[in-house]
Amino acid sequence: MHDILDLKKAMEKGNRARGLVYIKEKPEMRSGKRNDYMNGFFHLKEKDYPFRVWESDVYDIILEYGTGIYIVDTVGSEFRGAYLTVTNIDIYPGTAITQDDFFAGIPRHRLEQTLADVAAELMQRGTTEKCWELIDYTLRHADLEDRFMVEGAAIRHHDNIVGGLAHHTIKMLRILSALLINNPQLIESADLLTYAIVMHDIGKVFEYRDLTTSEYWYANHRVRGIEFLSHLKDEIIARYDEEFYRQVQSVIAGHHGLYGDHPTTVAATIVHYIDMLESQTTELVSQQLAAPGDRLRHPDFGFLHMIPLTGESGEPEVREEKDSNYRT
Ligand SMILES: [Fe+2]
Ligand SMILES: [Fe+2]
């Protein structure tokens, strides 16, 4: 039995430790005074811990096997900042620990529960059973490789955690639910708005891979989302009609508002506003929790004075398993 290495403790100068680590990105080789050495990072719960390898028989193993889980021996070291010296390494042969254990994230079962909750709520507000059947069919599609519930929603911004994409999408569905009460005229399009929200960022499954950019990231998530949607075209038209299909396409294309192809439909504009409200609020809250002092800098509005918040500094509320405020 191996445990995940407590990297914070292992980093203390002179500490010798042994345990499992995860290398998320390919480390780089540097040339030193005498020999080449390897410079890289171990990833654990949203943090990256620097390591160096001086011995070629150790870094050759990493060069050969690349990113993944390893069992390592380390010594806490310091030279212009703390780092870990790796003295011994092996690939992890087990299956009990997976890469998801190294990412901060929302457990899948909880995401599935909250999606079921918001589905029940939306069905009271006008979204039909037919729409949820289509969503179910969509999320089971083989192209997604079952990754909708595990991928992050962004690399550096809101919801960059395992399950972040699903979490962001579910929070948008809750906002839609409120809008259906406020503006009951929208009920006629409840299915369209619900399905379009589920689909708006689904291309992130292909744009990102395990919270980092995928090989083909440059074909962005709007393009990849529309491509994925095309594989569902016959099914969607059979269940609804071509108008519905085209409307969903336009939401995926236009949901970034001024920052991309401009919206061409009312649905795309509404989804854009819901998207902004959700992501900007999440971003502001997490920035305030992480920022020292009593103000934070906003890219458009300059310094903002903070407000009282529930939750500990630096700990996004979503990571607390027993947090009763989760639903709010
Ligand atoms: Fe997006
Ligand atoms: Fe989004």
Among 48, 67, 100, residue at a domain's last position? 100
Distance (angstroms) between ligand 2 centre and the Cα of 262 equals 15
Domain boundaries, position 43 = 7-100
pLDDT score, position 323: 31
Is the residue at 228 inside a domain?
yes
- Give the three-class secondary structure for 18: strand
Clarify whether residues 151 and 234 are in a common domain.
Answer: yes
Asked whether residue 1 is assigned to any structural domain, the reply reads: no
Q: How far is the CA of 328 from the centre of ligand 1 (A)?
A: 23
Domain membership of residue 151 (yes or no) is yes
DSSP string covering 74-121, please? EEEEESSSEEEEEEEEEE---SSS-GGGGS-B--HHHHHHHHHHHHHH
Q: How many angstroms does the Cα of residue 31 sit away from the middle of ligand 2?
A: 42
Mean pLDDT in runs of 10 for the chain (328 residues)? 88 95 93 90 87 95 94 94 94 86 83 96 98 98 94 76 91 98 98 98 92 88 98 98 98 96 98 97 88 87 93 40 29
Q: Which two tokens stand for residue 174?
A: 């809750």
The kind and range of the H/E element at 235 are helix 233-239
Q: How far is the CA of 43 from the centre of ligand 2 (A)?
A: 25
Q: Do 112 and 39 share a structural domain?
A: no
* One domain for residues 74 and 130: no
* Residue whose C-alpha is closest to residue 279's, from 153, 161, 166, 94: 153
**Ligand 1 centroid, distance to 213 Cα (angstroms):** 14
Query: CA torsion 290→275→198→309, rounded to 10°?
Result: 30
Shared-domain flag, residues 96 and 108: no
Residue 35 lies in a domain: yes
- 193 and 215 both lie in a single domain: yes
Q: What is the CA(186)–ligand 1 centre distance, in A?
A: 22
By three-state DSSP, how is residue 214 classified?
coil
Which among 79, 60, 69 has a CA at the least distance from the CA of 19? 69
Length, in residues, of the chain: 328
Round to whole Å and give the CA distance between 115 and 135.
11
Residue that terminates a domain, selected from 78, 100, 122: 100
35, 68, 100 — which closes off a domain? Answer: 100
Find the 276 Cα to ligand 2 centroid distance in Å: 8
Residue in the block written with tokens 């806490």: 76
For residues 280 and 301, give the distance between their C-alpha atoms in angstroms, rounded to a whole number: 13
* CA 221 – ligand 1 centroid, Å: 7
Residues 216 and 262 in one domain: yes
Q: CB of 75 within 8 A of CB of 52?
A: no
Cα–Cα distance measured from residue 99 to residue 23, given in angstroms and rounded to the nearest whole number = 9
User: Residues 210, 86: one domain?
Assistant: no
Which pLDDT score is estimated for 316?
37
319 occurs within a structural domain = no
What's this model's pTM, rounded to 2 decimal places? 0.71
Ligand 2 centroid – CA 182 distance (Å): 22
Instruction: Identify whether residues 195 and 296 lie together within a single domain.
Output: yes
Q: Does 11 share its domain with 42? A: yes
Q: Measured in angstroms, how far is the CA atom of residue 206 from the centroid of ligand 2?
A: 14
Does 78 lie in the same domain as 180? no
Looking at the domain assignment, is residue 327 inside a domain?
no
Q: What is the pLDDT of residue 1?
A: 65
CATH number at residue 25: 2.40.50.140
